[in-house]
Amino acid sequence: MKKVFALMVCFSVMCGAAWGEVEINATNFPDEIFRTYVSKNFDGDSDGILGDSEIAAITSVDVANKGISDITGIKNFTYLEILRCSDNGLTQMDVSNMQTLQAVYCSYNSLESLNVFGCRNLKLLQCDNNSLKSLNISGCSHLTHLYCYRNELNSLDVSSNTALMYLRCQGNNIAVLNVKNNTALKKLYCSSNSLAELDLTNNKALQDLSCGYNAMKALDLSNNTALTSVNVSSQSIGSLKVNRREDGTYYVDLMSDYGLTSQNLARVATSGVKGFNTKNNNVLTAYDSASGIASFSESPVKFLYGYDTGAGYSMDVTITAVPVITTEAQIGRASCRERV
C-alpha cells in the first residue's frame, strides 16, 4: 500500500498538478491573455496550479474587453456562476454542462458558435451583436432573460423556456417565433426580422412589445390587456398582386390573395387604405371593407393599409414590389398572368 501511495505522489510531482487540480499552462489555457488573467486573479499561492480550494472560490470571471480570442479553459471552473467576456475577439465558446452557471455576458464578439447545452441553471444569456446563425437553448429551463439581438439567426426555439420573461431577438432573420408556451413573458422585442405572423394569445403578462419591420399582415393584441408600450410599425410584404378588370380598372383582393379573414378585414382602417403608382400618386378609388377589395384607376406598385390590433394600436402594412397583374375574363377570373 505504501508503494502505491509513493507511486501516486511521484506521478503527481512529475505531472505538475495532482488529481483534481489544474495547471495554468498553454495546454489548459491556450490564450495568453486569459491565462495571465487566471494566474493573476485565482492562483493565490502563485504555484502555477489551481488547487481544489482555489477552483471552488472562482464563482465570477470578468474578462470583458481584454483582447481575448480563445476562452478555452473556462470549463475548469466548476463552481462558476457569472461569466463576463463581452467586447473581445471570440469566434466560438463552449460552456456546455456548466451546472452552476447562472449568467453569461458575451456580447460584441465575433461568435459563430455558442454552446450552452446542459446549463440548466442559466438564468441570463446576453449574446447580442455577434454572428450566430443558430442558438440552442432547449436545455436552459430556468432561463428568464435572453438577449440575442443583432445576430444572423434564421430560427429561434424558445418553446421549452417556460420561465422566459424578457426576450430581445430583433435584428435577425427569424421567420417563425413561437411564444405560446412563454406565458411569463413580459417584454418582447422582435422587430427587424422576417416574421409573417405572431401569435400572442397566451401572453397575457406581456407589457412591452416591439415587432415592427417584419412581414405581418395582421396582429391580434386584444388578449394582451397588460400592454403599456407597443411598436408595431412598418410591416412590409413583397409580391404585390394586382388584378385587372375588363373595364380597365384594377383591384387588390386582401381576402383571396393575402389570406385575411372577414374578422381581419373588419380591423382594416378604411382611412388608412392607399395605393400609389410609379409617380407616387394615390390612385385608390374605392375600398370595400366587407370583401377587402381595394379598387384603383391605375395599377399601383405600392399598397398600404392600417390594421387595428384590437388593443388601441394601429399597424401599418405595406405591400410592394413589381406587381403581378391578373386579367379578369367576362365570367370569373382568367388564369393568365402578365408581368408589368
Residue with the three cell numbers 456546455? 96
Read off the amino acid at residue 63: V
Kindly compute the dihedral angle of the four CA atoms of residues 299, 302, 303, 304, in this order, to the nearest 10 degrees: -150
CATH number at 237-339:
2.60.40
pLDDT of residue 13: 41
> What does the pLDDT profile of the chain (340 residues) look like in tens digits?
444 444 444 444 444 455 579 999 999 999 999 999 999 999 999 999 999 999 999 999 999 999 999 999 999 999 999 999 999 999 999 999 999 999 999 999 999 999 999 999 999 999 999 999 999 999 899 999 999 999 999 999 999 999 999 999 999 999 999 999 999 999 999 999 999 999 999 999 999 999 999 999 999 999 999 999 999 989 999 889 999 999 999 999 999 999 999 999 999 988 889 999 988 899 999 999 999 999 999 999 999 999 999 988 899 999 986 655 665 543 233 332 322 2
pTM of this prediction? Answer: 0.87
Determine the Cα angle at 310 with ends 307 and 315, to 5°: 30
Closest CA to 75 of 28, 31, 139: 28
C-beta atoms surrounding 255 within 10 Å: 16
Contact of 189 with 169, CB cutoff 8 Å: yes
First-to-last alpha carbon distance for the chain, in angstroms, is: 92
3-class SS at 112? Answer: coil
Cα–Cα distance for residue pair 118/98, rounded to 1 Å: 7
Spell out the domain ranges in the chain.
237-339
Which secondary-structure segment (H or E) carries 41?
A: helix 32-42
Q: How far apart are CA 215 and CA 185, in angstroms?
A: 22
- The single-letter code of the amino acid at 115 is N
Measuring CA to CA, which residue among 178, 175, 187 is closest to residue 224? 187
The four Cα atoms 131, 134, 139, 145 give a dihedral, to 10 degrees, of: 50
Does residue 218 sit in helix, strand or coil? Answer: coil
Q: How many CB atoms lie within 10 A of CB 240?
A: 22
| Amino acid at position 259, single letter | G
Distances (CA, A) of 84 to 104, 108, 127, 146, 331: 6, 11, 11, 15, 68
